[in-house]
Structure 1
Amino acid sequence: MSSIDTLFEANAEVLSELVGFLEQIREEDYRDISQLFGDASIGQHCRHIIEFYECLASQYDAGVICYDLRNRDERLQCDPGFALEKVQGLQEALRLPDKTLLLVQQYNGMSHSSQTTFSRELLYNMEHCVHHQAMVKLATQRLEYMLLPTDYGVARSTREYRNSAGK
């Protein structure tokens, strides 16, 4: 299996975990503002994950990736069923050849750019997704009906360390 194929599989696995989460969460809990997040909801964290992946897929052809240009679609943060459809579509939309990209970000009114690759951005999005899944897991601990895997929101490197250390 090639390096890019391994990345596709790793991202598909992380997104499948998100699918499992979205299939369980009740809409009212998804939209509810969590005290853990200040003024954000679980749905807003899921929207954030999805829109980063969408940026990567939709801006790939242009060769310039700017995560600042997210849609911020409120339906994604209010409707877990809609978010679920988007995630399922992303799992195949991200199967693209590796190539050089330009990463652009706005900071303090200035545009900054850096050369990157599609595979590097897949790695970034995967870790970004896991990071937000970890926060969401904390917010759902009070929801007795949620059954998340023990490793939900745990980085791959941490999982592998735990396995090798017998933990």
Structure 2
Amino acid sequence: MKQLVISSINYNLSSAIDLLNAIDSTTYQNSSVGPYYSSIGSHIRHTLDFFDCIISGLDSNNIDLTARKRDEILSTDKESAIHHIYQLQETLLSYIDTNTDYLIHVTDNLGQGKVTVNYTLESILAHANSHAVHHYATIGYILNRLGVEIKIPGFGYNPTTPVSKREGI
């Protein structure tokens, strides 16, 4: 199962690379679309932060999703983001043969303060993947509002969305 989870994540991360290769830096950095005025770069950085928290906390068995690095270079420099994604994909592949028969403590703020819950490696990675897809959907909205048309099949759609409705951007 872990191999399928990691393969799915790496597929979605490769879609992000396809997107970044298809847009220019101005589009990547554009924060003119309301109501949140966030850029594609800020959404990419945010999704990478989520994965980085997992990697950073795995050895200590304490993943803190509130301790994001928020590296602004990833928000503004798409080449740095692409490089970071490649590194992340390699790291994820190294987890395929890792023993994960234990619970991992994951801390997040759900709106009323920090709470720590138990996950498996597979479940936190699946959560991170769904989180990325959610942000990809927002990126699709930003691209639409900017009038930028790119075709990446399935980008921003949950795999459970009926195929007839899952066009991608």
> Aligning the two structures, in what range does the TM-score lie when normalised by the shorter sequence?
0.7 to 0.9
1:105 and 2:108 are equivalent in the alignment: yes
Which residue of 2 is the match for residue 137 of structure 1?
140
- Structure 1: distance between partners of 2:119 and 2:131: 16
Which residue of 2 is the match for residue 120 of structure 1?
123
More helix by share: 1
More strand by share: 1
Which residue of 1 is the match for residue 64 of structure 2?
66
TM-score by length of 1: 0.86
| 1:59 CA displacement | 1.4
- Structure 1: distance between partners of 2:68 and 2:56: 10
- Structure 2: distance between partners of 1:120 and 1:108: 21
| 1:35 CA displacement | 1.9
Which residue of 1 is the match for residue 41 of structure 2?
43
CA contact (8 A) 1:34 1:42 kept: no
Note the residue ranges of structure 1 that are not aligned, 5 or more in a row.
none
Which residue of 2 is the match for residue 54 of structure 1?
52
Which residue of 2 is the match for residue 162 of structure 1?
163
Between 1:120-129 and 1:102-111, the stretch displaced more is 102-111
- Structure 1: distance between partners of 2:151 and 2:64: 32
1:93 and 2:91 are equivalent in the alignment: yes
- Structure 2: distance between partners of 1:110 and 1:147: 39
Note the residue ranges of structure 2 that are not aligned, 5 or more in a row.
165-169
CA contact (8 A) 1:32 1:41 kept: yes
| 1:111 CA displacement | 3.4
Per-residue CA shift, 1:39-73, capped at 9, x if unaligned?
A: 32111111001110111112111111111101011
Equivalent residues, number: 158
Aligned residue type for 1:100 = L
Per-residue CA shift, 1:10-59, capped at 9, x if unaligned?
A: 01111010110111221111111132352321111110011101111121
Per-residue CA shift, 1:55-103, capped at 9, x if unaligned?
A: 1112111111111101011101000110110011111212313342001
Aligned residue type for 1:78 = T
Sort the Cα spacing of 1:12 and 1:37 in 2 relative to 1 into closer, same or farther, 3 A: farther
Give the secondary-structure state (helix, strand or coil) at the position aligned to 1:103.
strand
TM-score by length of 2: 0.85
- Structure 2: distance between partners of 1:149 and 1:56: 27
CA contact (8 A) 2:19 2:152 kept: no
Sort the Cα spacing of 1:108 and 1:18 in 2 relative to 1 into closer, same or farther, 3 A: closer
